[in-house]
């Protein structure tokens, strides 16, 4: 075969892989019929001889025919769904291939064949090659760089010429979508996709749309790479360094079920490095010499904090020094507990167990009285003891970790309140906090319980990375009808009653809250707000698709606003949860007013509405909430909040 003109970008990329200890080759050199052929046909995407050699090396004592069976199972697809095949392979890659065989003495052995050694990266076979031709049917395609581990094509890079103005980053993304459609046989094994135009570079997964290809801005994780370092080099050195790549694949990839099928998610760089820092801090804090203060992870809202918590939990439960720990995930509201529990439940493969949700104080005590293990979800309020009693000692183990969501919030009352009961129950447990907002300067109790910052990912960095979208604020005025004599009192009273979360529950503030609520929710004002919302949102919909959330000051105002909006647009209303274009999402009880009852739903019905709202094709286009779904609720289709 004659010489092939390699691009400068491809050669530079292979050089970086070489510096990482990879073998680098030119794709045509291992093509069928070449002297160095490693493929029988251009449809072969797994380098079988490398795979067989690795399996024999990693699984000594397993019969050759059993290893061959494992190799064939790993290299075969069983479903017409590309994503289902990818999930099946990912499970085999990270957990091993289940095999059974009979030994010479007649014993039946049930074992797992390892495809990769995750603990000793260098014993694996690492190869990066360019111009890897794949032919399926009438389609002949040639991805720019393919990364193989033990003969398995786990990484793919599509690179564009930086001197060609028409060769864009979006073009590289589109090229990968074409590959998925025309040479799908390459993708059941894929773990990481990279696109680059020679200037920018981004990382994504098999199911990631354009918006979810994100930059990887650090190599070692200690600091961001300098602007002078090519982004493609940062991605290559930061993601594909052998140990980091295997860590990323094993501990930072999840498949989350959606109405349209599984979605494959992978940690962004800030999540990956924060979790590993938090893991190291946890091991130190939980040791006999540790002070049980793991620290605080501050990752701005919208940057995947819930998923970071799940990744963290997955690594902690597997760490040998933690010796099968118990993790207690704390929130301060039931709806947040449900949302976070849903994220963790979707990550059961990472956790190697199914998380449990405490349904009552008694159930919580039962779940925490185990000898080892477990991931338990609870609200902080369930740590109330029986009246007149101290909270009983449940365990003196040190390998128990409290994971607090929004750890800075005042209602945790870590000095005198719930935290004292937690310490009574589990005196040797360690504490880690995750928060989307910074700890206030005057807040001394949060660092006293949790320790100092482990990692910070602020709003500016998140917006630069595209992990968090910019929010554009447009002021709208709906006048309050207020007597002149009352005006000087309103601002101080409002500041007092809204200081801290859910403080309206406190009896001493109920009357002041009621006066303010009556002003904000007067009939005339609600009608004006409804007219403004309908007009503005319909104008938005004329220019783009999408959905809206309206946040009301109280449940009464939410219900009244619903009535006002549906009076203007009666076709938006429907009594069935499965139909209608607007819904109120709130909790309540039989003692609430009759006209509220149609809006009061149990957990299952609220979850069904959440699925409707998140589905771009579903006609539900607006929800009215009081305090539900305001944090930890991932709905990309939602673009307007009132």
Name which residue leads in pLDDT, 500 or 303. 303
Judge contact between 341 and 357, C-beta under 8 A.
yes
CATH number of 40's domain = 3.90.1570.50
| Token code pair at residue 361 | 């104080």
Residue 447 lies in a domain: yes
Residue 271 lies in a domain: no
**Could you tell me if 93 and 114 lie in one domain?**
yes
Residue 479 lies in a domain: yes
Domain tally, the chain = 4
**Could you tell me if 160 and 282 lie in one domain?**
no
Residue 355 lies in a domain: yes
**Could you tell me if 287 and 207 lie in one domain?**
no
**Could you tell me if 184 and 37 lie in one domain?**
yes
DSSP H helical segments within 485-554, as ranges? Answer: 487-497, 510-520, 523-543
**Could you tell me if 30 and 162 lie in one domain?**
yes
Three-state DSSP class for residue 489? helix
Please provide the DSSP assignment of 149-175 as one string.
ETTEEEEEEEE--TT-TT--HHHHHHH
Residue 467 lies in a domain: no
Residue 391 is predicted with a pLDDT of: 79
**Could you tell me if 312 and 187 lie in one domain?**
no
Please provide the DSSP assignment of 195-220 as one string.
EE-SS-EEEE-TT--GGG-B----SS
Name which residue leads in pLDDT, 499 or 600. 600
Residue 1 is predicted with a pLDDT of: 37
pLDDT tens figures, 254-293 = 998 877 788 999 999 999 999 999 999 999 999 999 999 9
**Could you tell me if 99 and 224 lie in one domain?**
yes
**Could you tell me if 173 and 27 lie in one domain?**
yes
Residue 489 is predicted with a pLDDT of: 53
Residue 3 lies in a domain: no
DSSP H helical segments within 205-258, as ranges? Answer: 231-239, 242-251
* Domain housing 144: 8-262
Residue 85 is predicted with a pLDDT of: 96
Backbone angles phi, psi at 352, to 5 degrees: 60, 25
Judge contact between 85 and 79, C-beta under 8 A.
yes
pLDDT tens figures, 100-144 = 999 888 899 999 999 999 999 999 999 999 999 999 999 999 999
Residue 99 has pLDDT above 50, yes or no: yes
**Element of type H or E holding 430:** strand 430-435
With cut-offs at 50, 70 and 90, classify the pLDDT of residue 440.
low
CA gap 582, 558 in Å, rounded? 12
With cut-offs at 50, 70 and 90, classify the pLDDT of residue 4.
very low
Residue 124 lies in a domain: yes
**Could you tell me if 252 and 301 lie in one domain?**
no
Residue 462 lies in a domain: no
Beta bridge partners of 238: none
Judge contact between 18 and 237, C-beta under 8 A.
no
Taking the whole predicted model, whether its pTM rises above 0.85 is answered as no
Residue 345 is predicted with a pLDDT of: 86
**Could you tell me if 67 and 141 lie in one domain?**
yes
Residue 513 has pLDDT above 70, yes or no: no
CA gap 636, 497 in Å, rounded? 32
Residue 527 is predicted with a pLDDT of: 93
Q: CA torsion sign, 402 to 408 to 409 to 414?
A: positive
CATH number of 565's domain = 3.40.50.300
CA gap 450, 404 in Å, rounded? 9
**Could you tell me if 162 and 249 lie in one domain?**
yes
Side by side, the strands of the sheet bearing 622-625 are 582-585, 622-625, 547-551, 638-641
**Could you tell me if 228 and 296 lie in one domain?**
no
For residues 153-168, average pLDDT: 88
pLDDT tens figures, 394-408 = 888 999 999 988 765
């Amino acid at each position: 075969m004659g010489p092939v003109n390699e691009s400068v970008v491809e050669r530079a990329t292979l050089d970086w892989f070489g510096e990482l200890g990879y073998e680098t080759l030119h794709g045509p050199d291992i093509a069928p019929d070449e002297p160095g052929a490693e493929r029988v046909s251009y449809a072969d995407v797994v380098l079988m001889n490398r795979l067989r050699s690795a399996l024999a090396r990693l699984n000594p004592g397993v019969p050759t025919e059993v290893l061959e069976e494992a190799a064939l199972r790993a290299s075969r697809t069983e479903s017409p769904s590309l994503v289902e095949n990818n999930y099946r392979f990912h499970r085999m890659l990270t957990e091993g291939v289940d095999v059974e065989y009979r030994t010479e003495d007649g014993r039946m052995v049930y074992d797992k064949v390892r495809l990769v050694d995750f603990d000793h990266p260098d014993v694996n076979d690492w190869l990066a090659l360019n111009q890897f031709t794949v032919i399926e049917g009438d389609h002949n395609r040639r991805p720019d760089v393919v990364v193989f581990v033990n003969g398995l094509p786990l990484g793919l890079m599509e690179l564009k010429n930086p001197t060609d103005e028409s060769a864009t980053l979006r073009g590289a993304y589109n090229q990968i979508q074409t590959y998925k459609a025309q040479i799908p046989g390459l993708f059941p094994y894929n773990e990481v996709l990279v696109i680059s135009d020679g200037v920018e570079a981004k990382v994504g997964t098999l199911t990631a749309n354009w918006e979810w290809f994100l930059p990887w801005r650090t190599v070692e994780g200690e600091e961001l790479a300098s602007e002078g370092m090519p982004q493609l080099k940062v991605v290559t050195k930061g993601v594909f360094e052998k140990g980091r790549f295997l860590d990323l694949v094993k501990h930072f990839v999840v498949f989350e079920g959606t109405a349209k099928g599984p979605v494959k998610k992978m940690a962004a760089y800030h999540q990956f490095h924060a979790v590993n820092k938090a893991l190291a801090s946890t091991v130190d804090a939980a040791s006999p010499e540790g002070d049980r203060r793991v620290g605080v992870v501050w990752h701005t809202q919208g940057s995947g904090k819930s998923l970071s918590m799940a990744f963290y939990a997955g690594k902690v439960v597997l760490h040998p020094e933690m010796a099968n720990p118990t993790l207690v995930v704390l929130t301060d509201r039931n709806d947040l507990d449900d949302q976070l529990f849903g994220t963790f439940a979707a990550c059961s493969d990472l956790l190697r167990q199914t998380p449990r949700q405490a349904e009552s104080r008694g159930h919580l005590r039962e779940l925490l009285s185990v000898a080892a293990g477990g991931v338990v979800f609870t609200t902080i309020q369930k740590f109330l003891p029986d009246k007149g009693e101290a909270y009983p000692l449940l365990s003196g183990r040190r390998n128990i970790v409290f994971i607090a969501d929004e750890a800075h919030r005042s209602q945790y009352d870590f000095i005198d309140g719930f935290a004292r009961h937690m310490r009574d129950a589990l005196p040797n447990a360690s504490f880690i906090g995750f928060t989307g907002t910074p700890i206030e300067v005057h807040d001394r109790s949060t660092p006293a319980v949790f320790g100092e910052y482990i990692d910070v990912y602020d709003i500016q960095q998140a917006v630069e990375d595209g992990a968090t979208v910019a929010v554009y604020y447009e002021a709208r005025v709906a006048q309050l009808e207020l007597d002149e004599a009352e005006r000087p009192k309103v601002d101080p009273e409002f500041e007092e009653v809204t200081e801290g979360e859910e403080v309206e529950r406190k009896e001493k503030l109920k009357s002041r809250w009621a006066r303010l609520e009556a002003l904000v929710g007067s009939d005339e004002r609600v009608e004006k707000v409804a007219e403004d919302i309908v007009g503005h949102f319909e104008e938005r919909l004329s220019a783009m698709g999408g959905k809206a959330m309206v946040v009301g000051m109280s449940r009464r105002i939410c219900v009244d606003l619903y009535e006002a909006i549906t009076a203007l647009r009666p076709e938006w209303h429907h009594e069935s949860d499965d139909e209608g274009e607007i819904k109120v999402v709130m909790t309540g009880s039989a003692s609430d007013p009759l006209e509220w009852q149609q809006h009061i739903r149990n957990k299952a019905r609220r979850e069904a509405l959440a699925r409707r709202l998140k589905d771009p094709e579903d006609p539900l286009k607006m929800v009215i909430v009081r305090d539900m779904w305001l944090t930890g609720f991932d709905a990309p289709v939602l673009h307007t909040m009132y």
